[in-house]
Structure 1
Amino acid sequence: MSEVVEKQADPGTAVPPPRRRFLMDTRPLRHRPYRRLWTSTIVTALGSQLTAVAVPKQIYDMTGSSVWVGIASIAGLAPLIVFALWGGAIADTVDRRRMLLFTNSGIALLCIVFWLQAALDVRSIPLLLVLVAVQQALFGMNMPARTASVARLVPAAELPAAGALNSTVMQGGQIIGPMLAGALIPLLGLPLLYLFDAVALSATLYAVWRLPPLPPLSGVARRAGLADILDGFRYLATHRLLMVSMAADVVAMVFGMPRALFPQLADTAFPGVNENFALGMLYAAVPIGALLGGLLSGTFSHIRRHGLMVVIAVCAWGAAIVGFGLSSSLWLAVVFLGIAGVADMVSMVFRGTILQTAATDEMRGRMQGVHTVVVAGGPRLADLLHGVAVPVAGASAAVAGGGVLVIVAMTALALAVPAFLRYRGPAR
């Protein structure tokens, strides 16, 4: 590790905890390298949402078909999985700062290509699908390097606070970004959304450039190959804490993420409420809850029972989803989804902290690569599972039943691996 990084990550340099115990713990921002990385995340969280709105909107405008919108989403899944796993291996064998510069630059250039094809009105669905696939491949390589870098920039005791800061920014981007996109399209047109994302990404390059070098702790950079990816899976298979942490997210998302049913529920479950208004509220409720949870995350830094917190949070998510599925009032449904968002934030923070602290630095990139695949793949599997369950059980029963399965499966995992319940994070 470079001398600069060691100095930044020295626990002795950490400032005292904030007086306001319940508000967000901002101590990690006292470390300049982390502050630069976090600042770049703010910009990219907003900019990426502009493109996330622009792509499906452009495809729908061209085809008038939601099927093509779904195909575009699936087109990016395979590249994301492959390159997240490979990117995780690369992040463990090269300077992570250089990898971030490469992937951020690639995504920015790709946004310019998105802008050109939209501005020139190329109207090519195959081209858009290729661009989406390349974008997701670059994203898959970027995320393991970005998340694995955090543990090198802040003391171990501040990792829960850093996780809360990162997650809050991402959730805020999911709320503000689409709203901003919706306001800008009528004023400036869809093509400029891509250009704004490119400009935002370009602006973050300076912050990443100013990070200290983040080479492998061995000091030897090398080329990553298939053997490194397989080593990562073998490492994961022999570390039950990491396995359960990953499995907890799979359980919560696959059984308990009912977003595929939001359109149907908005149309049928809340009589007398405008369908479009209900749909917007359902989509916004979980991110808003997660954002509020992040803003009130000061207690996270004082909790060491990280495994227990994950179990409680996932079960709370399941219980909230049961409440949502049984709700006949839109506002009650939104409240339950907001509670689910808070639980999801708690789960994200402590699962992320376990991945950062229980894995060695030479394996963090690969573990984050697997985590990226789990986070991306779980909701997509949930869409399929809930869609298949509706004709059999009905929408409300499918949602509530999924929440019950979350509680049962998470409880079974915790009982099967009691070491996970007992796991404690680093002392302050």
Structure 2
Amino acid sequence: MTTSGTPNPAPAPDAPEPDPVAESDSVAERVPGAGSEPARRRILADLTPLRVSADYRRLWFGNTVSWIGQGMTTLAISLQVYDITRSTFSVGLVGLFSLVPLVVFGLYGGAVADTVDRRKLGLASATGLAVLSAALATAAFAGFHRVWFLYAVVALQAVCAALNAPARSAMIPRLLPAEQLPAANALSSVTTTSGMLIGPMLGGLIVGYGGYQAAYLVDAVAFWAALYAMWRLPAMLPDHGTDRDDPGSGKRASVLGGLRFLATRPNIRMTFFSDFCAMILAHPRALFPAIAVLWYGGDARTTGLLVAAPAVGALLGGVFSGWQGRIRRHGVAILLAVAAWGLAIAAFGLTRNLWLGLFFLALAGYADTVSMVYRSTMLQAAVPDELRGRLQGVFIVVVAGGPRLGDFLAGSVAGLTSPAVAITGGGIACALAVGLLGLRARGFVRYDARQPTP
């Protein structure tokens, strides 16, 4: 991908017109470490960011290990709460104690990341997460089994995560050139989905063989990889600009400054609106337990398959993401990916074959990864460095809060009509809504990654 402001080479006289969406193969060949293989032949994830930046490589590896450890701890806490209380309601409260601090402190964490050295903030918050995992292990070894203690640790973990994520995401554009951001975000999707899939599986095995204390202890040790990666990074002070036309610019970072910037930047705003279409209108997760029984005559294992299918598709989206680096019309790619999510969910609502249903859910998960890669890339490339933390904070709130609103809407519509109407109707509504957004936001459709405009 060419850098901003660099014109594309003129095509040969007899050459066909260049693809308006894909980049030229010669561009990929200019990327350091990309090798001589033409870009169009790439299918698997582009590992160039891991090869060219030792800082990014350590950060990615550390995050992957810590995400898997956190997935283990999340499952272990849920199992321990149920073991103590024998109440599914008490287990449900674990999610609430995690969600509220994540939403509240997500915006605040972004403002902090735009004020202080992001390396130090990431190091401090990762240390906090490691200490909390060690506290869980110590309490379990000591036989201190109190639900209120587990809830308190979950809430504090969410606070640390809300401070860590904006700082970590805002670091990536400082470690890699702009043309490698899509590949880096695809690799990040592999990290998160691996944590969602591998973490709980390992957590169940470790709890079964070694108890809760073993899972918590492994998580605490796993954080050393993330801490080491943060420690080796250079200083990451925000690059405070002097453009007075940018709301929120200057050395005093505020949440309102970030929101004012968002209100005046239609392309960045559209990344959130498009995500809302998917997460609110077409998010059937809350209905999985019911349809596992009603549609497939299954049980809890069937529900587990339904929950895992989108995550498997998302993981495949990251693994087979080599083509995504050639796309420069990121706005079009986001709109098509969100529409694909909605149509896949609608198709899932129409089938009563379990394996076909799992296929459509996996397809939706793949489309979600494609959308996430380009939305994240736009946030990193089109937003000034001094505002990246705050916009990443907004991103956290949307990602954390949107699916919960989607659960509520799907459950309400299914209660008034049926699960089939809620799922199929929601998927169609998502595709129509994102299509209407595309018709209204012509600038978003014309967005070119070579000249990122917020």
Q: Is the 8 A contact 1:90 1:224 kept in 2?
A: no
- In 2 relative to 1, CA 421–328 (structure 1 residues): closer, same or farther, beyond 3 Å? same
Alpha-carbon distance in 2 for matches of 1:409, 1:378: 16
Alpha-carbon distance in 1 for matches of 2:154, 2:355: 36
Alignment of 1:268 onto 2:294: yes
Aligned to 1:214: 236
Mapping of 1:3-402 within 5 angstroms? Answer: 14-16=32-34, 19=37, 20-29=41-50, 30-218=52-240, 228-271=254-297, 274-402=298-426
- In 2 relative to 1, CA 51–251 (structure 1 residues): closer, same or farther, beyond 3 Å? same
Q: C-alpha displacement at 1:270, in angstroms?
A: 0.6
Q: Is the 8 A contact 1:286 1:341 kept in 2?
A: yes
Q: Is the 8 A contact 1:17 1:25 kept in 2?
A: no
Higher helix share: 1
Q: Is the 8 A contact 2:76 2:204 kept in 1?
A: no
Aligned to 2:14: none
Gapped runs of 5+ residues in structure 2? 1-28, 243-249
Amino acid at match of 2:134: I
Q: C-alpha displacement at 1:127, in angstroms?
A: 2.0
Q: Is the 8 A contact 1:257 1:379 kept in 2?
A: yes
Question: TM-score, normalization: structure 1?
Answer: 0.92
Alpha-carbon distance in 2 for matches of 1:375, 1:79: 14
Q: C-alpha displacement at 1:170, in angstroms?
A: 1.2
Q: Is the 8 A contact 2:63 2:225 kept in 1?
A: no
Q: Is the 8 A contact 2:379 2:391 kept in 1?
A: yes
Amino acid at match of 2:358: V
Q: C-alpha displacement at 1:15, in angstroms?
A: 2.9
Q: C-alpha displacement at 1:31, in angstroms?
A: 1.1
Deviations 1:24-53 (A, max 9, x none): 111111211111111111111111101111
Q: C-alpha displacement at 1:399, in angstroms?
A: 1.2
Q: C-alpha displacement at 1:413, in angstroms?
A: 1.4
Q: Is the 8 A contact 1:100 1:145 kept in 2?
A: yes
Deviations 1:325-364 (A, max 9, x none): 1120110110000100110010000000111111111100
Aligned length: 413
Gapped runs of 5+ residues in structure 1? 1-10
Q: Is the 8 A contact 2:121 2:167 kept in 1?
A: yes
Alpha-carbon distance in 2 for matches of 1:359, 1:224: 16
Q: Is the 8 A contact 2:114 2:388 kept in 1?
A: yes
Equivalent residue of 1:76, what SS? helix
Alpha-carbon distance in 2 for matches of 1:269, 1:421: 39
Q: Is the 8 A contact 1:108 1:197 kept in 2?
A: yes
- In 2 relative to 1, CA 17–397 (structure 1 residues): closer, same or farther, beyond 3 Å? farther
Equivalent residue of 2:254, what SS? helix
Q: Is the 8 A contact 1:47 1:196 kept in 2?
A: yes
Equivalent residue of 2:176, what SS? coil
Q: C-alpha displacement at 1:233, in angstroms?
A: 0.4
Alpha-carbon distance in 2 for matches of 1:119, 1:338: 39
Alpha-carbon distance in 2 for matches of 1:261, 1:119: 38
Amino acid at match of 2:45: M
Q: Is the 8 A contact 1:18 1:25 kept in 2?
A: no
RMSD across aligned positions (CA): 2.0
Q: Is the 8 A contact 2:66 2:225 kept in 1?
A: no
Structure 1 stretch displaced more, 195-204 or 104-113: 195-204
Question: TM-score, normalization: structure 2?
Answer: 0.87
Equivalent residue of 1:423, what SS? coil
Q: C-alpha displacement at 1:13, in angstroms?
A: 7.1
Q: Is the 8 A contact 2:115 2:251 kept in 1?
A: yes
Deviations 1:367-405 (A, max 9, x none): 000001100111111122222222111112211111112
Q: Is the 8 A contact 2:343 2:428 kept in 1?
A: yes
Larger Cα-atom Rg: 2
Q: Is the 8 A contact 2:240 2:385 kept in 1?
A: no
Equivalent residue of 1:24, what SS? coil
Q: C-alpha displacement at 1:219, in angstroms?
A: 10
Amino acid at match of 1:23: L
Amino acid at match of 2:138: L
Q: Is the 8 A contact 1:89 1:224 kept in 2?
A: no
Alpha-carbon distance in 1 for matches of 2:133, 2:82: 19
Aligned to 1:3: none
Alpha-carbon distance in 1 for matches of 2:194, 2:392: 22
Give identity over the alignment, percent. Answer: 43
